[in-house]
């Protein structure tokens, strides 16, 4: 069974840092693109970042560029999101989502999603 | 990276069809055939329903279909069922980043 499990969320003061993790299982993690998507409770989905299967290609939303860093450890089947200089506007549930298999040539954000981890930035 | 434009709400009676639009620009929806649609029930993670404008992942009923014309993509749900009541989000590749729509709440009357 394909499974994604996020962790690392919590309460943090503005200006602080947090690292989110996403543990993948049930598929060959090293073959897939991966994404982070966030959602303020009761609001819409906001795409945050993506990373290629070999980590050579990364992209960010303008709102997080320069503050967030996406990375992955294919040996540990884990995706990361390092979040620095956090602001109250970063408060949201953060989902990791599986992208397409690099061999498929397909393009989409997520055919499998985790349950999300809540980040609250507040003083 | 501006959000794609979706109507906030849509509705239909069981058995009817409903279409949800998603309007972007030539830099996203109009520039690539990489529009996806996600369904999200309250308190649940999103589910991919359509990708690359018209393709359905395995297990998605063929009542769900997608199309695109210019800078506007559409999701059509035919033969509405109660379980289709949910929020629907479009997303599009934008040449590196991706962008989502604001979401449409579909109500089955």
- Residue B59: which pLDDT band, with cuts at 50, 70 and 90? very high
CA–CA distances in Å: residue B38 to residues A68, B62, B66: 25, 15, 12
A78 neighbors A22 (Cβ within 8 angstroms): yes
Q: Which of A37, A44, A110 sits opposite B103 (nearest CB)?
A: A44
Spell out a b/e string for B9-35, using b for 16 or more CB atoms within 10 Å of the CB, else e. Answer: ebebeeeeebebbbbbeeebbbebebb
pLDDT tens-digit profile of A57-68? Answer: 999 999 999 999
> Which chain A residue shows the shortest CA-CA distance from B49?
A111
Does residue A1 register a pLDDT over 80? yes
Contact check, Cβ <8 Å, B97/A61: yes
Q: What are the residues whose beta carbons fall under 8 Å from the beta carbon of B50, sequence distance 6 or more?
A: B35, B36, B37, B56, B60, B64, B65, B66, B75
- Phi, psi torsion values for A20, nearest 5 degrees: -95, 150
Q: Which pLDDT score is estimated for A54?
A: 96
Give the three-state DSSP class for A55: coil
Q: Which pLDDT score is estimated for A29?
A: 97
Contact check, Cβ <8 Å, A107/B32: yes
Cα–Cα nearest to A108, from B19, B53, B62: B53
Contact check, Cβ <8 Å, B45/A113: yes
Does residue B1 register a pLDDT over 80? no
Contacts of A92 in chain B (CB under 8 A): none
Measured distance CA(B96)–CA(A97) in Å, rounded:
16
CA–CA distances in Å: residue B50 to residues A89, A92, B33: 30, 25, 12
Percent above pLDDT 70 for chain B: 100
Averaged pLDDT, B88-104: 96
Averaged pLDDT, B32-46: 96
Q: Which pLDDT score is estimated for B50?
A: 98
Measured distance CA(B56)–CA(A66) in Å, rounded:
35
Averaged pLDDT, B54-79: 97
Measured distance CA(A38)–CA(A93) in Å, rounded:
5
Q: In what order do the strands lie in the sheet with B18-23?
A: B18-23, B72-77, B64-69
Q: Which pLDDT score is estimated for A62?
A: 95
- Residue B24: which pLDDT band, with cuts at 50, 70 and 90? very high
> Which chain B residue shows the shortest CA-CA distance from A94?
B45
Average per-residue pLDDT for chain B: 96
Q: What are the residues whose beta carbons fall under 8 Å from the beta carbon of B45, sequence distance 6 or more?
A: A95, A113, A114, A115, A116
Q: Which of A63, A109, A113 sits opposite B36 (nearest CB)?
A: A109
pLDDT tens-digit profile of A51-108? Answer: 999 999 999 999 999 999 999 999 999 999 999 999 999 999 999 999 999 999 889 9
Q: Which of B48, B99, B102 sits opposite A111 (nearest CB)?
A: B48
Best mutation target among B8, B46, B58, B59 (most A Cβ atoms within 10 Å) is B46
Does residue B2 register a pLDDT over 90? no
Q: What are the residues whose beta carbons fall under 8 Å from the beta carbon of A55, sequence distance 6 or more?
A: A71, A72
């Amino acid at each position: 069974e394909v499974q994604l499990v996020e962790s690392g969320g919590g309460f943090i003061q503005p200006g602080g840092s947090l690292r989110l993790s996403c543990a993948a299982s049930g598929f060959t993690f090293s073959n897939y693109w991966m994404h982070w998507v966030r959602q303020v409770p009761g609001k819409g989905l906001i795409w945050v970042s993506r990373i290629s299967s070999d980590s050579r290609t990364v992209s960010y939303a303008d709102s997080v560029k320069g503050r967030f860093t996406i990375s992955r450890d294919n040996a540990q089947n884990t995706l990361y999101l390092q979040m620095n200089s956090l602001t109250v506007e970063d408060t949201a549930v953060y989902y990791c989502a599986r992208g397409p298999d690099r061999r498929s040539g397909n393009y989409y954000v997520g055919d499998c999603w985790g349950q999300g981890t809540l980040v609250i930035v507040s003083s | 990276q501006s959000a794609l434009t979706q109507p906030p709400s849509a509705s239909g009676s069981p058995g009817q069809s409903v279409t949800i639009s998603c309007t972007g620009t030539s830099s996203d929806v109009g520039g690539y055939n990489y529009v996806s649609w996600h369904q999200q029930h309250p308190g649940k993670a999103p589910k991919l329903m359509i990708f690359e404008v018209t393709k359905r992942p395995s297990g998605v009923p063929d009542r769900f279909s997608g199309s695109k014309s210019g800078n506007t993509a559409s999701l059509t749900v035919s033969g509405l069922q109660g379980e289709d009541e949910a929020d629907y989000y479009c997303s599009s590749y934008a040449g590196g980043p991706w962008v989502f729509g604001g979401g449409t709440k579909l109500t089955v009357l």
